[in-house]
Amino acid sequence: MAHPVPDLIAKVGGVWAGQDLQNEFQREVAEMLKRNNPRVFPGAQPVSFAKKHLDELKTQDYFVCEKTDGLRVLLYLTDDGQNPPVTPVAYLIDRRNDYYWVDRLRFPHHENNPTYSRFHTRTLLDGELVEDRHPDGRTTIKFLAFDCLVCDNKDMRERPLDKRLAYLKAYILKPYTAWLKDFPAQASQQAFIFDDKKTEFAYSLQRMFEEIIPQVKKLHDQHILKWKPPHDNTVDFLMHIEWATIKPDLGDPDQSLQHDYDSLPAGIGLYIYHGRNMDYSYVADLYLTSAEWDGLKLRGVPLQDAIVECFLEDTTTSDGSSSKEQPDGPAHIKRWRLYRMRDDKDEANHISTFESVIDSIQDHITEQDLLNHADAIRAAWKARDARKSSRPPQ
């Protein structure tokens, strides 16, 4: 049976490593990160931003960068395991913890000679694949790196994020860019454009909002805080379908009701993951229009128990009216709507993730709320810097 490859990874020519080689790589990466379970995705998991995190921004050093709508992946740089001279190889790791080989990706070592004979190996970068669409219809796929977890088998995670980012720029991005400049023929062979995500100090929120990213953002350090406008918070659910039924033809000897796989389902339950013996619990029903259902059917993939990303829609309009009127006046209705299918995931969000998203929705932290705290965040940051350097704050 063919191994499904996430769409963006397929577009860059990613080829599944196969079970045996993947198992070997999973053990290697777990060993590099000093983790006991090689089966778990080794990247950090984001926490949805809630009101309590406003105080956290004043007590810890956070950086802010764009939350692009791409595919979260890790980039694992290793070698073919042969005797010298070894051949560098690169793998993308998706959130299923599956490994996909990408051809001709090379990352020259910073301690190199003009022939670029040495390359980074046993290096792990965190980032995401994004696809930019140009006005003329062309598309460009980029890998945007936002952290360096391991470099040449050296664990970087105990270093502050600003140091890790500086390491990423100086030791990985800079020699890579120089290599492509010296050997331009290599640029056309690269599977994607490699770059870092632009970061700012957390107190530079206004510049981030106004100059760099107009809509969706992420704040991150040793762990990741994910802020979105309140209406853009989403949850990944398992979707369990209760099929509509139809009566069989009169000539059919079996006169029991039959599943109608074509009509809009009788119900679509959304379930969240608890992590114990694959336990799931029901949260709510998904509200789906007939047109949306027709679109899902056209995808030609199994829909039962698929993972879907959903947002909580408030149907009350700005003038106080609602899509559903009650005898005593407008109703305030909230319902889960489909944002997109998550073909890259096998499991719904954990209950803890679901609860943090609900907290974020209920706290309703807006862009202006963040900007209102920017001065206090800056003052606290500068005070910490002053204490570290044993000099008065400027």
- Active-site amino acid positions: 67
d(CA 203, CA 61): 10
Long-range contacts of 240-247 (CB under 8 A, 24+ apart): 240/268, 240/269, 240/271, 240/304, 240/305, 241/265, 241/267, 241/268, 241/269, 241/303, 241/304, 242/266, 242/267, 242/268, 242/269
- Residue 234: CB atoms within 10 A of its CB come to 20
Angle at alpha carbon of residue 121, lines to 145 and 44, rounded to 5°: 40
Asked if residue 308 lies in contact with residue 341, where contact means CB atoms within 8 angstroms, the answer is yes
- Residue 181: CB atoms within 10 A of its CB come to 10
- Residue 363: CB atoms within 10 A of its CB come to 17
Asked if residue 357 lies in contact with residue 365, where contact means CB atoms within 8 angstroms, the answer is no
d(CA 55, CA 51): 8
Q: What is the DSSP string of 166-223?
A: HHIIIIIIHHHHHHHHH-HHHHTT-SSEEEEPPEEEGGGHHHIIIII-SS-EEEESSS
Do the bridges between strand 334-341 and strand 46-48 make them parallel or antiparallel, or are there none, so unpaired?
A: unpaired
d(CA 187, CA 193): 9
- Residue 143: CB atoms within 10 A of its CB come to 26
Helices within 274-393 (DSSP H only): 290-298, 351-363, 367-372, 374-389
d(CA 118, CA 105): 13
Asked if residue 360 lies in contact with residue 51, where contact means CB atoms within 8 angstroms, the answer is no
